[in-house]
Amino acid sequence: MSWIISLIISFVITAAVTPLLIPFLKKLKFGQMILEDGPTWHAKKQGTPTMGGLAFILALTASSLIVSRSAEMLFVVIIGLLFGAVGFVDDYIKVVKKRNKGFSAKAKFICQSVVALGAAVYMYASNSHAVKIPFMAGSFDFSWFYIPFVMFVMLATVNSVNLTDGVDGLASSVSAACALFFLVAALKMGYEGVAIAVSAMIGGVLGFLLYNFFPAKVFMGDTGSLYLGGILSAAAVMMGLEFSLIIAGGVFLSETLSVIIQVTSFKLTGKRVFKMSPLHHHFEMCGWKETKIVGVFTFVTLLLCAVCYLALK
């Protein structure tokens, strides 16, 4: 039951470190800059410490290394750290350089693509070209197309989790629920290293939620959201469950699709489909409280994860 130890250690470290990190971030004036295109009432969150994801990044890394040194665990943790590093640079530019859009979209995409390419090439070189199809026995060999496929899955995941991080506790809660599926899948399929990493993620995120749930005392920032997306996508890739990630991460997918639909509709017709995008902002504009959005989105994720579990063959 090493995964239980990993989860507990990660939870304790995050719960202990976060309240120490918050005043430190305040002292450095690492406060969140609220974008003008969001709901107007979010302006009151201006200045809330960000980059709090550093707490669960430290916790997950430490707890995973304490419990295991397996190659599969290291793969998941390292990919998470690399995506988190991209987010850290973005956050640093926002809060220190006072450029609330962070560094350019092109630069961010290039950095993310390099990480995703490295992960895809590593897995391809390990002769892991097969991807499991939900509800079907066996798997499909993508051959050379495996590399661009994995890159697409990783890039889509990290950016979708990033988009979801717009309501107090939302990205944390949905990510923890999604990670629960990969924990159960890893235990069922015999990927102990992956189980240790994702259980540490669950523990760390739950510890962070003590301070990130509404009203949030700290935000994870791009540092945390890109890191969580990296852990989830790396775990899925390691186990060949990329298609399961698409289902289990349905909330993440819907957030991204809402932005694509909104932008496309406005450019083609001049009309908006949603009151505001990403999707969680639409429900806010409909009068939903942040806690209700988090509760409903997390519940939907748990249902989708249950479907994914039933789809495992």
Is 239 a residue whose pLDDT tops 90? yes
pTM of the predicted model as reported, rounded to 2 decimal places: 0.94
| Separation of alpha carbons 149 and 204, rounded Å | 29
Give the pLDDT mean for 27-56. 72
| Separation of alpha carbons 78 and 6, rounded Å | 16
Q: How many CB atoms lie within 10 A of CB 192?
A: 17
pLDDT tens digits, 249-266: 999 999 999 999 999 999
pLDDT tens digits, 181-223: 999 999 999 999 999 999 999 999 999 999 999 999 999 999 9
